[in-house]
A and B are shown apart, each in its own frame.
Chain A
């Protein structure tokens, strides 16, 4: 059974038989980890994500992302947690500087590169934007964002309404130019004890906007993943009800157990869940971790991958062992004869074709 990376991925998420599980890393590597590996023999010319994935023998999985900021927008330092607005007056001032023309965001050369690498057959491409938790957090800053649900509820909704209008335009344009294998919404709405907000808050402030944009993405036949670190055990149900197809990275350290997710949300796909903290201990520890997740890989649409990014305490030797084990276990996941339900986007396609 020969198939391209894209065909394998789509069939996997459709619950159909495949030759093996996709062998991917969705996140780039930490600079600290790469620094160590370069000192341990990773060739200096291996600098891009594409190069590094190729060096280790992974299927290529490359991300394209765009921003709603323009050169005229206020500066927000990534990762600082400090926003650029507090209230309605600030929004009035900032709003005209956001949301650039969707046709200007991805250069023609990038679309050409996407098509060329797709035709090579060994590359998955995914498209990323900020979700309806992440985007207001960037603008408000971390702490004010959490207060905003109580202090500025109508402003929050107005901001998301404007953003979702822009996203609808963006998705229709970008996906008419290139068919991404999947897309992800960056959210990071959970921490190690659960989600930062409750279900009522999700239903009021996030769900309406996901219900608006996910059908637009599904119309293009593209599955939607939500990227949220931490314990997503509650959030997985909330995202299922707004139509998301999957979630990642399912951090083991936050107590996530994907087998319970397969029980309660069998339609969803999951990516990640391999406990990064065991990698430094070598082959036996990593093999035990693969054995733990193998039953879930075999009974659901779970793609094993490091449950975020490989920490810098993992040597290049141990990472190579990880990849060889990933290849070994991927070969044991074919879904042959399995009774696996497709993700919502593919279930919709099957219904419309029937």
Chain B
């Protein structure tokens, strides 16, 4: 019974059925299934399937967006119960598009996928000054900084953020992940980033690994 309900949550999430997911999460709570089980075996499980399918070009951006929206609908119901049970997010990531760059679809996609892993995200938006990122890292319990850039003219903004974190003495406090159309592994290495991934699904998987590393 419990397994079937969790499976249904996962499947409805994969199909982007936000209202159904919210109703099923409510039902699962009423049946005294633990919030952590609902999160991991229902919602996160569904997002993992979507992430794998996205990486393999079996689903595309609209499918990921509607699945993430369904995830958020479920999370909204689940959050009070999670807090009540003392269950915290796996960690916290700061995410933004760097200074001079107004593009946010890639950043939003990565954010949704990361949240789908049970990681809290502080979204600073687009065209973000390095100092704002430094201040956010300083003022919050953050383990990961995710930087997006779409343009060859703005990609060096990622280096400016890493340099600013170094100058502020915060570089060791966080891992830095970079991504975006012009970014390559070579470039990530050149600017001293800790991680580069090609797509949002891989970014979410790496985010989980990096946060676990920082918390170890």
Contact = CB atoms under 8 A, between A and B. Distances in A.
Interface of A: 30, 32, 79-81, 142-143, 146-147, 149-150, 191-198, 201, 229-230, 234, 253-254, 277, 311-313
Given A150-B16, A234-B57, A191 B65 contact: no
A139 to B, nearest CB: 16
B160 interface: no
B61 interface: yes
Interface stretch (B5-13, B98-106, B134-142): B98-106
A229 B65 CA distance: 21
B66 interface: yes
A147 B108 CA distance: 13
B102 A198 contact: no
Given A80-B102, A143-B105, A197 B181 contact: no
Contacts of B66: 147, 150
- A-B pairs with lowest CB-CB distance, top 3: A196-B61, A198-B60, A193-B199
Interface residues of B, number: 23
B190 to A, nearest CB: 13
B83 interface: no
Given A81-B104, A197-B60, 11 more contacts: A142-B104, A142-B105, A146-B65, A147-B65, A149-B62, A150-B16, A194-B60, A197-B62, A198-B59, A198-B60, A311-B153
Q: Which of B62, B66, B104, B198 is most buried by chain A, counting CB atoms within 10 A of its CB?
A: B62
Nearest to A202: B60
B152 interface: yes
B15 to A, nearest CB: 9
23 contacts: A30-B153, A81-B102, A143-B105, A146-B65, A147-B66, A150-B62, A150-B66, A191-B181, A192-B198, A194-B60, A196-B62, A197-B60, A197-B61, A198-B59, A198-B60, A201-B60, A229-B181, A253-B181, A253-B182, A253-B184, A254-B181, A311-B152, A311-B153
Contact of A230 (B104, B108, B181): B181
Contact of A312 (B65, B105, B153, B181): B153
Contacts of A193: 198-199
A79 B100 CA distance: 13
A149 B62 CA distance: 7
Interface of B: 16, 57, 59-63, 65-66, 69, 102-106, 108, 152-153, 181-182, 184, 198-199
Contacts of B62: 146-147, 149-150, 196-197, 201
Contacts of B198: 192-193
Nearest to B15: A150
Contacts of B60: 194-198, 201
A146 B106 CA distance: 12
Nearest to B200: A193
A81 B153 contact: no
A312 B184 CA distance: 19
Contacts of A143: 65, 105, 108
A234 B104 CA distance: 24
B153 A32 contact: yes
Contacts of B106: 191
A32 B108 CA distance: 28
A82 to B, nearest CB: 10
Given A147-B62, A198-B59, A192 B181 contact: yes
